[in-house]
Amino acid sequence: MCFYISMNKNAQTLASRYGLKTDILESYQDILNEHYQINAFTNPLCYVVTNSEELHAFNWGLIPHWERTPQDADKIRAMTYNARSESIFEKPSFREPIRSKRCLVPSTGYFEYHHNADSSTTPYFIYLKNTEIFSIAGIYDSWKNPANGDIINTFSIITTEANSFTAEIHNGGKNPNRMPVILSPMDEKQWIDSSLNREGIIELMKPYDASLMDAHAVRRDFLKLDTRDERVIERQ
Q: What pTM, to 2 d.p., does this model score?
A: 0.96
Q: How many other C-beta atoms can be found within 10 angstroms of the C-beta atom of residue 81?
A: 20
Q: How many other C-beta atoms can be found within 10 angstroms of the C-beta atom of residue 221?
A: 10
Q: pLDDT tens digit string along 172-187?
A: 988 899 999 999 999 9
* pLDDT at res. 91: 97
Separation between Cα atoms, residue 149 and residue 88, nearest integer Å = 29
Per DSSP, the three-state class of 191 is: helix
* pLDDT at res. 27: 62
* pLDDT at res. 31: 67
Q: What residue ranges of the chain have pLDDT lower than 50?
A: none
* pLDDT at res. 24: 61
* pLDDT at res. 138: 98
| All domains of the chain in start order, with CATH | 4-233 (3.90.1680.10)
* pLDDT at res. 152: 97
